[in-house]
């Protein structure tokens, strides 16, 4: 197949994560014999905004120039949707890869969005609160013509939280002259944020464990869970696991890794992390080498930090029976190949962490309608969507003899392709 135009577009976004995302898409496109024009079109995002802007720092009245990005992969399905991350290594290729992943995720869960992602290349841990606020407001202004409730709706991701979303919403609202809660999701509930959005990704992920365990013929109670990352996703996934009677035996974050064979008291660990900024030094555990965490003997491994951590090199040593991907893109194609051979059951990011965008969708719907649902309604609808998606994808995987990632992507890519074919090309 001749994909010269697509390949030229792809080079703009050259990065390990983008190459992985495109290779994954190419593989699925071949499998379903995707229309060549659509294949080529979907390899490159529709719109990418790169900005550089000044941020006034506290110290010595210094002004730093930082880079920001917003990439909208697909505008066919409705507005675009995706998080904003603040991290020191954010780049255009990474953001574009994550935007593409969001397109598939929304299509798999059947939400009326295309994928987007944004980011600012900065270490958020060294920013004061007012520096973070100034940065957020200026970044919002830089991308303001490209976002909006009908256009593109950001949400939190690594390094951003409810407060950052509140500043974004306030900046946007001030600019357009009226309060516009639906421009962003993951806001505080006092501003129209949805109840249960904060917990949605981690809890949604763990709501799949009973179905995963039943498929693998293993008990949930007493299962040993290992967690890489103890931020928004990791914390609530760990809480969900311990509430179901699992033993969370090891946890890592940017500060280090800790291990306790009898299982952590997750509430106590959470308190420690809030007070001390990380898991390192937690007294009711032994410190361990973070590089060894992924290969610990356990039933369930949850990568919930950064992408590209499970590779062809460490995958052969991974002893978990199931990997539930909280992070986006944690497993490389080479590692997937190893898992297929070794029979490690992977619930891919596009399914496992879809709880976040699902409750974000609920939040957007509630904001547009100015009518808010109860926590019980939200949790019940979230569980229903997560479990329906999982069982549909599992059935497809069994029927087609593929892994879950392939089955899920076949569903997502086919849905997008159907929509693109139905809309046609303008003019």
Closest distance of CB 188 from ligand NAD, Å: 15
The answer to whether 108 contacts ligand NAD (rule: CB under 6 A) is no
The answer to whether 204 contacts ligand NAD (rule: CB under 6 A) is no
How many residues make up the chain in this entry?
A: 427
Residue with Cβ nearer ligand NAD (40 or 363):
363
Taking a C-beta distance cutoff of 8 angstroms, is the pair 345, 321 a contact?
yes
The answer to whether 194 contacts ligand NAD (rule: CB under 6 A) is no
The answer to whether 350 contacts ligand NAD (rule: CB under 6 A) is no
The answer to whether 252 contacts ligand NAD (rule: CB under 6 A) is yes
Residue with Cβ nearer ligand NAD (29 or 167):
167
The answer to whether 79 contacts ligand NAD (rule: CB under 6 A) is no
**Residue choice 159, 181, 348, 412 for contact with ligand NAD (CB under 6 A):** 159
DSSP character at residue 186 = S
d(CA 13, CA 233): 27
What phi and psi, each to the nearest 5 degrees, are found at residue 179? -70, 130
Taking a C-beta distance cutoff of 8 angstroms, is the pair 102, 82 a contact?
yes
Contact track, ligand NAD, 216-235, x by CB under 6 A: ------------xxxxxxx-
For residues 54-84, one letter each, b for 16 or more C-beta atoms within 10 angstroms of the residue's C-beta and e for the rest, the string is ebebeeeeeeeebbbbbbbbbbbbbbbbbbb
Closest distance of CB 15 from ligand NAD, Å: 15
- How many residues bind ligand NAD (CB under 6 A)? The answer is 23
Block residue for tokens 């501003």: 191
The residues annotated with a catalytic role in the active site are 117
Closest distance of CB 301 from ligand NAD, Å: 13
Taking a C-beta distance cutoff of 8 angstroms, is the pair 329, 351 a contact?
no
The answer to whether 248 contacts ligand NAD (rule: CB under 6 A) is no
The answer to whether 118 contacts ligand NAD (rule: CB under 6 A) is no
The answer to whether 247 contacts ligand NAD (rule: CB under 6 A) is no
Taking a C-beta distance cutoff of 8 angstroms, is the pair 186, 193 a contact?
yes
Contact track, ligand NAD, 285-304, x by CB under 6 A: -------------------x
The answer to whether 305 contacts ligand NAD (rule: CB under 6 A) is yes
User: How far are the Cα atoms of 31, 105, 266, 370 from residue 262, in angstroms, in the given order?
Assistant: 45, 35, 12, 47
The answer to whether 111 contacts ligand NAD (rule: CB under 6 A) is no
Part in contact with ligand NAD (CB under 6 A); list of ranges 12-20, 129-137, 321-329, 404-412: 321-329
The answer to whether 156 contacts ligand NAD (rule: CB under 6 A) is yes
The answer to whether 193 contacts ligand NAD (rule: CB under 6 A) is no
The answer to whether 356 contacts ligand NAD (rule: CB under 6 A) is yes
| Cβ burial, residue 99 (10 Å; 0-12/13-18/19+) | buried
Taking a C-beta distance cutoff of 8 angstroms, is the pair 245, 210 a contact?
no
d(CA 192, CA 180): 10
Residue with Cβ nearer ligand NAD (157 or 363):
157
* Three-state DSSP string of 318-333: CCCCEEECCCCCCECH
**Residue choice 48, 76, 223, 353 for contact with ligand NAD (CB under 6 A):** 353
**Residue choice 107, 306, 382, 386 for contact with ligand NAD (CB under 6 A):** 306
DSSP character at residue 310 = B
The answer to whether 258 contacts ligand NAD (rule: CB under 6 A) is no
Residue with Cβ nearer ligand NAD (49 or 106):
106
Alpha helices in 179-313 (DSSP H): 197-206, 209-216, 232-243, 266-276, 290-293
Q: Which residues bind ligand NAD (CB under 6 A)?
A: 156-159, 201, 228-234, 252-254, 304-306, 326-328, 353, 356
């Amino acid at each position: 197949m001749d994909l010269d135009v697509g390949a030229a577009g792809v080079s703009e976004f050259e990065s390990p994560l983008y190459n992985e995302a495109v290779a994954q898409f190419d593989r699925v496109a071949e499998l379903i014999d995707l229309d060549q024009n659509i294949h080529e079109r979907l390899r490159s995002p529709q719109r990418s905004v790169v900005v550089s802007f000044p941020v006034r720092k506290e110290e010595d009245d210094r002004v730093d120039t930082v880079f920001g990005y917003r990439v909208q992969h697909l505008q066919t399905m409705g507005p675009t949707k995706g998080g904003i991350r603040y991290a020191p290594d954010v780049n255009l290729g990474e953001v574009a890869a994550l935007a593409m992943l969001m397109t598939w995720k929304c299509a798999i869960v059947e939400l009326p969005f295309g994928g987007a992602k944004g980011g600012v290349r900065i270490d958020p841990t060294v920013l004061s609160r007012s520096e973070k606020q100034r940065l957020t407001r200026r970044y919002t202004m830089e991308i303001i013509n490209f976002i909006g409730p009908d256009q593109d709706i950001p949400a939190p991701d690594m390094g951003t939280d409810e407060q950052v979303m509140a500043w974004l919403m306030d900046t946007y609202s001030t600019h357009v002259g009226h309060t516009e809660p639906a421009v962003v999701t993951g806001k505080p509930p006092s501003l129209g944020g949805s109840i249960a959005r904060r917990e949605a990704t981690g809890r949604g992920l763990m709501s799949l464990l009973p179905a995963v365990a039943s498929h693998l013929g293993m008990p949930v109670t007493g299962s040993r869970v290992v967690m890489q990352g103890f931020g928004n996703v990791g914390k609530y996934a760990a809480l969900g696991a311990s509430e179901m009677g699992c033993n969370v035996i090891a946890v890592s974050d940017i500060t280090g890794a800790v291990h306790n064979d009898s299982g952590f008291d997750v509430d106590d660990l959470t308190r420690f992390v809030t007070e001390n900024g990380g898991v390192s030094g937690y007294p009711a555990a032994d410190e361990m080498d973070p590089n060894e965490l992924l290969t610990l003997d356990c039933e369930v491994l949850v990568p919930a930090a950064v992408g590209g951590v499970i590779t062809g090199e460490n995958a052969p040593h991974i002893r978990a029976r199931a990997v539930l991907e909280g992070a986006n893109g944690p497993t490389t194609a080479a590692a997937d190949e190893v898992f297929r051979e070794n029979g490690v059951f992977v619930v891919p990011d596009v399914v496992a962490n879809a709880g976040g965008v699902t409750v974000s969708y609920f939040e957007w719907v509630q904001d547009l309608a100015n009518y808010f649902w109860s926590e019980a309604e939200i949790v019940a609808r979230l569980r229903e969507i997560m479990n329906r998606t999982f069982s549909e994808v599992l059935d497809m995987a069994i029927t087609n003899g593929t892994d879950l990632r392939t089955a899920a992507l076949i569903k997502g890519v086919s849905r997008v392709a159907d929509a693109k074919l139905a809309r046609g090309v303008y003019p």
